[in-house]
Structure 1
């Protein structure tokens, strides 16, 4: 690879934006109290702020940096804080040993009960509000109800619930007790939920009677009944009558009964720094999903840092991120309440009745920071959506994108639609750390197609196969120093073998994330897709996102999936599967156009050997393309061995590849 050319600058923050940012305020404090050199000579003026210098301090003096986050944001511990990190090792880093605290305490302390905490809407409910008083009372009531049902520190409470304020209150209640939270979205199938929840042996199941999505109602009571049968450790099942008020199910108790307990005051159980807060899960596309455990303290510190310094959440902000309860972005969103911002929830389809739905919600809720997926922004671009046409989005100051690489074309579309006064930030990181490894920074410029920076405290680098750091070239995304929100452990992995195999088997003692990344000489980052699905031709490695960018630039192509399938003679075939517009086909010149685009934009070595038309690209429930499972199916492996259909948003889309494999 050659050094990247410098792309267009689409946005630069003005001096007022930089000067009022949370990160500059923190840097000034760190300069005064910790001797950190994050500004030029003389007065620490906004124009002289040096993000790279602050980042380098954060990943060099990692103990000093995380202690500074603790001190600056007033983290409260019930026991003295002495050592930050006794030993820099991965895996096995022990952060803040001896400390006891509670994540939920930091959410509720010092809140004005009359201020709005949550704005929420669904396809069933109009836009409404919960104040901090509402949230505190409901959380205390649920905590009391759970306590009466025998829930205490370490017990697991699992939630099969939509993205509602009741779900947020339930999570905070569980956290306040020192119990362990885990959730799946109600659109998960039975097997997928069982594969996740059964691993952690829950005591209580919180479930919903049903939900509405895309204008259709889905009764989930039969699923809940199956879950009860399959989870023998569950002692209590509580049913939220959301779809049908008054709905009942044999063997369950109503949500109203859960909130009838004595809830005079919300209390917080002090727990060790690394005590489990929640369990998240890997995608589950291959094998049993990994049950990833994050601790109270690690998530608290990471989200205080990320949400204040990178998201730049402020007191008047209303932060929305489109997500379900089955994706780590839900955990990210509810953590925004650690800041002085409020949050906006939505449960329903982002495309029903049309792709204007989220933009209309943003107007009605007064959203200031809107987060979504790269796929949603690309769909709006493709379908000719004009977010500001006919609606007032003047409150919107930032748009965030995650889930997959955001193409340069989508970057440009956002600025074509919103002008250069809006901050667009793309992020990447994920479930493993429940945060961003690379993402937005409000004081840096936005370059077309690039992620602004590496996150503070995240020692991210690009490495070649020999473990040498490279700049301006594509390599493995690695993290070379411990960070507090790395998994404490995997549930059901007592000797740590699965955890070591997942992150540390390629470079011992170094976290290998599984993505291809380029760090430019400007400190920006470009993600090229998963390193285990990257296509290597003649020593030239190409991320699948690069091929998608080339192919999706053609108007006739709506979606695509590409895999490189090994052949018996040692060669391989690049198979490109395309979803086409209704009026397009592969009978004419389109395959040649695709080949030209890939040859020109990517490399001649990566031109597909064959292009096929399919009806839909198979994706996980969190929207990820099933590149590796499809590749393994086309190599002759049984679909049942390589993917759980219940983990898919559209399992029927996989049938095409099964038939194709059967044909040889």
Structure 2
């Protein structure tokens, strides 16, 4: 996002960069910066938008955001409730620009187009220069079905090698192992028949229950509507005996307790709004959910920890916002 931000200077834009906690001194802090600076394009994370929704922030009512014409989000999929919150609480005519890309390509795969309509929960279109497709495991293109995000022709900003990888083996293993010659990014997406894109989360952390796949983002959207849940993390763990364990970790709101009533409420929400097959095997209260330094929930490293991988091999602690939280998951994996 730093490169994306700085590129604004090429068109003569004034760039405002906030460095610090987005929740200090309260959750509305970033919106006050937008008011004070007369921001026109407000870039933030999906996590911040959902935190504002959870905290009951009303930026459109309480602040003068008349200069803001676009709210752009990235870092993780913006759930439909996030689209609705921006529409209802910032401005009804706001251009909501949800984008998805990667640090490795220094670019976006899909994102915002000013001449196209915005549909709730969907990115408007693949970006320029990106031959974006969704493929099934056999390399067949899919429409209106969930598949692997692939780029079938080179992008202008696609890397051609890694540092300290002289024979290219790490590079090829990272992106070209599943489909030789075709970039597989590791995201689970749907390309719709109207040309929009839905991001479901990381494909290597997709929940697969009895052959029915679901993105973790769908679970988060449903569960975190409950006022008792501050944040959640769901992991699907393949077991050595061929079984499949799917725990849901919950970070509770202040004053909430994971009693039988809340436990049943969580399971009923998932059963009725999503799928009976994706009701978790266990709901476990945790002191917090670990994230990358850019605010993404850490799913794959936690999955590795739950499978017994030592902490030093599962994740780089320096890339985590609160590395101390990882000890809980490592201990749980060791005990299991």
The corresponding residue for 1:366 is: 38
The corresponding residue for 2:178 is: 506
- Find the partner of 1:626 among 286, 298, 311: 298
- Find the partner of 1:611 among 283, 286, 297: 283
Residue range with higher mean Cα deviation, 371-380 or 384-393: 384-393
Measure the CA separation in 2 of the matches of 1:348 and 1:633. 29
The corresponding residue for 2:162 is: 490
Alignment of 1:325-364 (within 5 A): 329-364=1-36
User: Match of 1:415, SS?
Assistant: helix
**Structure 1 length normalisation: TM-score?**
0.50
The corresponding residue for 1:532 is: 204
> 1:561 Cα shift?
0.6
Measure the CA separation in 1 of the matches of 2:197 and 2:225. 22
Alignment of 1:278-427 (within 5 A): 329-427=1-99
1:586 aligns with 2:241: no
The corresponding residue for 2:228 is: 556
1:475 aligns with 2:143: no
Q: Which runs of 5+ in 2 are unaligned?
A: none
Rg comparison, structure with higher value: 1
Measure the CA separation in 1 of the matches of 2:174 and 2:18. 33
Higher RCO structure (Cα 8 Å, ≥6 apart): 1
The corresponding residue for 1:599 is: 271
User: Match of 1:334, SS?
Assistant: helix
Measure the CA separation in 1 of the matches of 2:86 and 2:326. 32
Aligned residues: 336
- Find the partner of 1:434 among 88, 106, 115: 106
User: Match of 2:277, SS?
Assistant: helix
Measure the CA separation in 2 of the matches of 1:419 and 1:484. 35
Measure the CA separation in 1 of the matches of 2:292 and 2:62. 34
> 1:445 Cα shift?
0.8
> 1:519 Cα shift?
0.6
Residue deviations 1:79-105 (CA, integer Å, cap 9, x gap): xxxxxxxxxxxxxxxxxxxxxxxxxxx
The corresponding residue for 2:193 is: 521
Measure the CA separation in 2 of the matches of 1:472 and 1:523. 10
Residue deviations 1:312-343 (CA, integer Å, cap 9, x gap): xxxxxxxxxxxxxxxxx011101111113221
Q: Given that residues 58 and 90 in structure 2 are in contact (C-alpha distance below 8 angstroms), is that contact kept between their aligned partners in structure 1?
A: no
> 1:489 Cα shift?
1.9
Measure the CA separation in 2 of the matches of 1:492 and 1:662. 32
The corresponding residue for 1:651 is: 323
User: Match of 1:447, SS?
Assistant: coil
1:573 aligns with 2:234: no
Measure the CA separation in 1 of the matches of 2:313 and 2:24. 34
User: Match of 2:60, SS?
Assistant: coil
Q: Given that residues 229 and 251 in structure 2 are in contact (C-alpha distance below 8 angstroms), is that contact kept between their aligned partners in structure 1?
A: yes
> 1:481 Cα shift?
0.8
Measure the CA separation in 2 of the matches of 1:505 and 1:393. 47
Q: Given that residues 209 and 278 in structure 2 are in contact (C-alpha distance below 8 angstroms), is that contact kept between their aligned partners in structure 1?
A: yes
Measure the CA separation in 1 of the matches of 2:65 and 2:331. 47
Measure the CA separation in 1 of the matches of 2:321 and 2:201. 20
Measure the CA separation in 2 of the matches of 1:348 and 1:628. 26
Alignment of 1:54-203 (within 5 A): none
Measure the CA separation in 2 of the matches of 1:377 and 1:450. 16
> 1:600 Cα shift?
2.2
The corresponding residue for 2:133 is: 461
The corresponding residue for 1:641 is: 313
> 1:420 Cα shift?
2.4
Residue deviations 1:607-641 (CA, integer Å, cap 9, x gap): 10000111100111121212111111111121111
Residue deviations 1:256-314 (CA, integer Å, cap 9, x gap): xxxxxxxxxxxxxxxxxxxxxxxxxxxxxxxxxxxxxxxxxxxxxxxxxxxxxxxxxxx
User: Match of 1:625, SS?
Assistant: coil
> 1:575 Cα shift?
0.4
> 1:440 Cα shift?
0.5
Measure the CA separation in 1 of the matches of 2:328 and 2:291. 13
Measure the CA separation in 1 of the matches of 2:272 and 2:143. 24
Residue deviations 1:422-452 (CA, integer Å, cap 9, x gap): 1011000111211110001011111111111
The corresponding residue for 2:117 is: 445
